[in-house]
Structure 1
């Protein structure tokens, strides 16, 4: 009995300590939960507290390899947000929330192109970035700080830090429109040249629509990532060209000598001179519809054979395209695309479509092979007409002309340099039943 008493006496302090520890854990958990609730409430309050909205400089990838953009957000309730982006026309209202994870997380959980475009895979965003990751953007952000003067966010996926700054009065509408106009103007340019301090012109490596320049005098190939702003260009980090360091370049309006204006530093030491996208580059960047009523007599002689073969096989040609097939078939490249039987069978003739060096309006087609783009397209489909439609393109060089002018026309004419009766008038607009239209 005495031994039991001694043991009990020994255990009692431990039991009391355990009881106290559990009580402390509950208090700690309650405090952490309370702090999280308060942080979420604070984030909601700050976001909605500035009724004019917020502006953010957004570089979707941690390495800035796709350039930067400007996004505007107006949080109009605990569930609704209006978002505008310089890269997307107009604005859109969708849902959002601040949720409880390891910290408060701002999630744009309702689809809104003004923010989700940066998160879409390359196959869906127009071919920017890899097929699966696109521009590597995010629509969920950890809220690191939320005060009236700034909201500091961290992308959940990339870890990129984003700062939202408050807008005033009607700036949401005014600034969003100004940035969209500047971006639209910039996007019409497909070629840029560096006019250096001595007046020489050098091609600037640039791949539309990615907002990255590379200094043609810098052999390292270092990227110069930037945003388009109403006054010109703002770079992610300080840059150096022609011995001048700068963070922004101002846009100078067009003159007789510079019909598209130019971007320059404060002392006009150098100029970045834009030009419209050459017709041959514009052609290779897009996918164009073709139709029987818009081809030449030599071209038609091959299409007539194709029509007969398709009819004999009881196949129909739903749509027929030429150009950048990757816009609808991720990773494919250039070619001629055949959509048969209401897109049940889809295949393509693969081509290297190359702008002819030294020209702005010629392209050459080099045949690579024929492929099925879905399981429904077989060798039987390929040989029942499509092979004949390909013949007028094989190894041919075409001159490109347009009645609409040089600036991104929607209709162009391809005319064989050596066989003038081999021509195709092609359209950005969709044409159905192309062998009968």
Structure 2
């Protein structure tokens, strides 16, 4: 009998404890989880609509940020229409509109739910990138503080931010593109007066420090310089970004502890340039002979090498790309990664050096003779057709003046 009494008291105690916990939970959360998510959706919807000039979205595709960061400006209307501006557009004053929504998906999630040419660029597959660039168009809201909204890309898992814009999208993106153009021409040669090779291509800053881990961090352009995806540590100091000083040709860390001296290239090679081998006024005899050699080697494989060669920006960064037609209609891409860099004291010259095999190159190593021809004749004297934003550049070898080729946009 005593055991039954004790057991009864124990059950009553547990029941009271559970009820007490439920009461405490009720006091902590006066609403259900779904009600809290609905409230969060309403809060973020009101917040997004509240910015007259829209929001700057600092966007990073791909889970390892291999393509770097890109600026969007998005205006959100109460009728669930979004107007999108993009720093990579041919005309930054032109916007693209589509719909958006904020949905419940384990929390409040911003989704661009109809196709937008700009917003879906990095999520749109192509022949050479069947998985696209693994970009996001759905973003989970993480936090909001001081006109800065933190997001997480649903696909990539990347942390991204939206900043309230206080000027027009056109004004903001013009400043960003001005900084981008200057830095796209530059490489770093010294850090705090010490000789280093600093690579700023592909929206990454990379350099090596003896005795420390190599630094390679994605960044995004701002109106004043660059902002890093994550802070880096240099000489014991945490660095989150750099300000560009055009007069001194320097990138200066926000806390002033790091100064990167820059040299500037004669033109921006990190664009979609091409070499037209059908135009005999655009390639030297030596270049054409090497092209014929690799063309015939490709024919021996049963494929036809296309006459246009990509150089500058390629799918995996910067380098050279060839296209091969496998009958009846399959086009294969073969890429080799290259580093293009300016030369200290030679403002009109461009160095080209190998980085490594890229997309499908291991299957197309018979293209090496033309690649080696280009590399062995570097560096090149650059002759742009205009001083700024050229559309055509003649590159003449400093090793052999008879070796040259023209690249065009």
Q: Same fold (TM over 0.5)?
A: yes
Q: CA 1:348 to 1:391, structure 2 compared with 1: closer, same or farther past 3 Å?
A: farther
Secondary structure at the aligned position of 1:138 is classed as: coil
- Asked if residue 216 in structure 1 is aligned to residue 195 in structure 2, the reply is no
Aligned-partner Cα distance in 1 for 2:34–2:270? 58
Runs of 5+ unmatched residues, structure 2? 1-30, 297-302
Aligned-partner Cα distance in 2 for 1:267–1:305? 54
Q: Does structure 2 conserve the Cα–Cα contact (< 8 Å) formed by 1:78 and 1:97?
A: no
Q: CA 1:54 to 1:316, structure 2 compared with 1: closer, same or farther past 3 Å?
A: closer
Secondary structure at the aligned position of 1:403 is classed as: strand
Q: CA 1:230 to 1:331, structure 2 compared with 1: closer, same or farther past 3 Å?
A: closer
TM-score, normalising length: structure 2: 0.64
How big is the alpha-carbon RMSD for the aligned residues of Structure 1 and Structure 2? 5.3
State which of 308, 311, 329 in structure 2 corresponds to 1:320: 308
- Asked if residue 412 in structure 1 is aligned to residue 394 in structure 2, the reply is yes
Q: Which has the higher strand share?
A: 2
Aligned-partner Cα distance in 1 for 2:318–2:125? 15
- Asked if residue 48 in structure 1 is aligned to residue 49 in structure 2, the reply is yes
Q: Does structure 1 conserve the Cα–Cα contact (< 8 Å) formed by 2:309 and 2:320?
A: no
Deviation at 1:75, TM superposition (A): 0.4
Q: CA 1:338 to 1:325, structure 2 compared with 1: closer, same or farther past 3 Å?
A: farther
TM-score, normalising length: structure 1: 0.60
1:141 equivalent in structure 2? 139
Aligned-partner Cα distance in 1 for 2:238–2:361? 52
Q: Deviations over 1:398-433 (max 9, x none)?
A: 353332179885332455956x66x4533324xxxx
Aligned-partner Cα distance in 1 for 2:200–2:251? 17
Secondary structure at the aligned position of 1:293 is classed as: coil
Higher deviation after alignment, 245-254 or 146-155: 146-155
2:189 equivalent in structure 1? 193
Aligned-partner Cα distance in 2 for 1:392–1:331? 20
1:179 equivalent in structure 2? 176
Q: Which has the larger radius of gyration?
A: 1
Runs of 5+ unmatched residues, structure 1? 1-29, 126-130, 309-314, 375-381, 430-437
Q: CA 1:335 to 1:76, structure 2 compared with 1: closer, same or farther past 3 Å?
A: closer
Q: Does structure 1 conserve the Cα–Cα contact (< 8 Å) formed by 2:100 and 2:111?
A: yes
2:96 equivalent in structure 1? 92
1:401 equivalent in structure 2? 381
Deviation at 1:262, TM superposition (A): 0.6
Deviation at 1:48, TM superposition (A): 1.5
Q: CA 1:161 to 1:347, structure 2 compared with 1: closer, same or farther past 3 Å?
A: closer
Q: Deviations over 1:266-285 (max 9, x none)?
A: 78665212223478x94998
Question: Where in structure 2 are the equivalents of 1:374-389 lying within 5 Å?
Answer: none
